[in-house]
Structure 1
């Protein structure tokens, strides 16, 4: 795992700008689900802030076209790596290629994931498609973390962002697979953050809000919806995390478009704030 000289970690960077551009220059990001939607916005936004960005997605042609567009627009180093996030060997090979061609990953964004094929109760769902949704989010993030985090631990620097959802904290019965997947992802984030305590490697849940993407447009529940979360707010939040500005929120849930970055920077959460916990039924609850 030998490596040559690398840029300073974001938390050590000097001359940091508000958008994180100076702090992120020369850093390496790996974004899954990068060819479209939120992932595509993140690739563009991180590249414009000076990061070298590797994009991972299943559709190799669409991904390559997207990454070429980002390079042309930003001048950043990019890399398109076609892989299925649920395929262990493919993920390991993809991460190895990123490391060889761009360098060790400083920021991992687990964004890839499927959605329920139809709005229906779970007993009417196709079992294979239902499970594929859960796998895409939970197994996918697990395999990426398993491949990337050991290198972060070795270098004692890195940030992981798991793209969360409000459905992870309040289940939608018509999207049971997606709700289960996002709740599981939140537990994984907290478990990983706890295992990394004391290291300069941090893990975050970032809910993007309702961004206008092909996925959300395809969901009947958002028909006629117009109050979209600007994707720039998602990028700003992830960039602030990558720049080491929100480290006190590691293992917790943040929401683009609702959370104010200035407030987050100035706030240190206590106890189980922004983490999944049972609510007591009263003062006598034995599990409180």
Structure 2
């Protein structure tokens, strides 16, 4: 399956965790990579390491994804440096610091987590997608989660934010019909990172998703092989890109929908 060699990828949250793996993996496949994160020093070190290890062109741009002006400046700098952005990967996002029910969470802290998963990607989409549409080509990958598809007693802000992000992806994909630009939800599974290992639900976990599986699925999207899945949910470590490339999803497959209570359900 082709890789996104020669493309320009912008990866948010690129200094650590899954974002760091994605930056390295896409660079190793021949993409130029713009890394965006809040910590300037850590991000610069990460992008320097990626460039040294892969020989790819990289650019580190420090910005908070929820800051409109900072995002606009970051995208402008990336486009000035590389001329375009072919692949946008919205990976950055916060996790609930306190494992408490929703009514016990600090409202400001709770909302900051939601905003990181909704406002952040929306600002990046607003800054990047117009250029893609003008060129008639581009792909957006929003990092979803298993918690996008179900509720639970804790990590409620993360769950709400990721669910909203899935709906944003579907709306974006619908609006992009006929433009040559596609948008995807990609759940990375559970990769062993500093964030995931701090979560109580993963305390005894032994079956971790390999970072390379996440990179492979994003690379397959970037290559254009999975455009038929635009607006739908993909899951690294479970979905095989080669298998997906041979399928054409129909109807509402892999999209958020209400489940009917029975044949007579009037809402269904």
For residue 243 of structure 1, the aligned residue among 206, 223, 237 is 223
| Counterpart-to-counterpart distance in 1, 2:267 and 2:201 | 35
Task: Please list every run of 5 or more consecutive structure 2 residues that lacks an aligned counterpart in the other structure.
Answer: none
Choose which of 26, 44, 50 in structure 2 pairs with 1:46.
Answer: 26
Secondary structure, in 3 states, of the residue corresponding to 2:173? helix
Q: Paired residue for 2:235?
A: 255
Which residue of 1 is the match for residue 144 of structure 2? 164
Q: Partner of 2:260 in structure 1? A: 280
Root-mean-square deviation (CA, aligned residues, Å) is 0.7
Across the two proteins, how many residue pairs are aligned to each other? Answer: 268
**TM-superposed deviation, 1:157:** 0.2
Shift of 1:231: 0.4
Q: CA deviation at 1:262?
A: 2.1
1:165 Cα offset (Å): 0.1
Q: CA deviation at 1:277?
A: 0.4
Q: Which runs of 5+ in 1 are unaligned?
A: 1-17
- 1:198 Cα shift? 1.1
Tell me by how many angstroms 1:224 deviates.
2.1
Deviation at 1:225?
1.2
Cα distance, 1:78 vs. partner? 0.1
Instruction: Say whether 1:140 aligns with 2:120.
Output: yes
CA positional deviation for 1:129? 0.7
Corresponding residue for residue 51 of structure 2:
71
**Partner secondary structure for residue 224 of structure 1:** coil
Deviations 1:31-89 (A, max 9, x none): 00000000000000000011000000000000000000000000100000000000000
Deviation at 1:267?
A: 0.7
Offset, 1:172: 2.3
Helix, strand or coil at the partner of 2:242: helix
Q: Which structure 1 residue ranges, 4+ long, deviate > 6 Å from structure 2?
A: none
- Secondary structure of the residue that 2:154 maps to in structure 1? helix
- CA positional deviation for 1:25: 2.1
State how far apart, in whole Å, the 1-side matches of 2:83 and 2:218 are: 20
Provide the secondary structure at the position in 1 that maps to 2:41: helix
* TM-score, length-scaled by structure 1: 0.92
CA separation in 2, counterparts of 1:266 and 1:138? Answer: 31
SS of aligned partner of 1:210:
coil
What SS does the aligned partner of 1:159 have? Answer: strand
Give the distance between the partners of 1:156 and 1:171, measured in 2 at CA. 37
- 1:83-122 map, 5 Å: 83-122=63-102
Q: Does 1:194 align with 2:174?
A: yes
SS at match of 2:204: coil
1:82-130 C-alpha deviation (Å, 9 max, x unpaired): 0000000000000000000122100000000000012110011111110
Q: Distance in 1 between matches of 2:212 and 2:24?
A: 10
**After superposition, what is the alpha-carbon deviation per residue over 1:239-261, rounded to whole angstroms, capped at 9, x for unaligned?**
00000000000000000001122
Q: Secondary structure at the match of 2:155?
A: helix
Alignment equivalent of 2:248, drawn from 258, 268, 274: 268
State the SS of the aligned residue for 1:181. Answer: helix
- The secondary structure found in structure 1 opposite 2:205 is coil
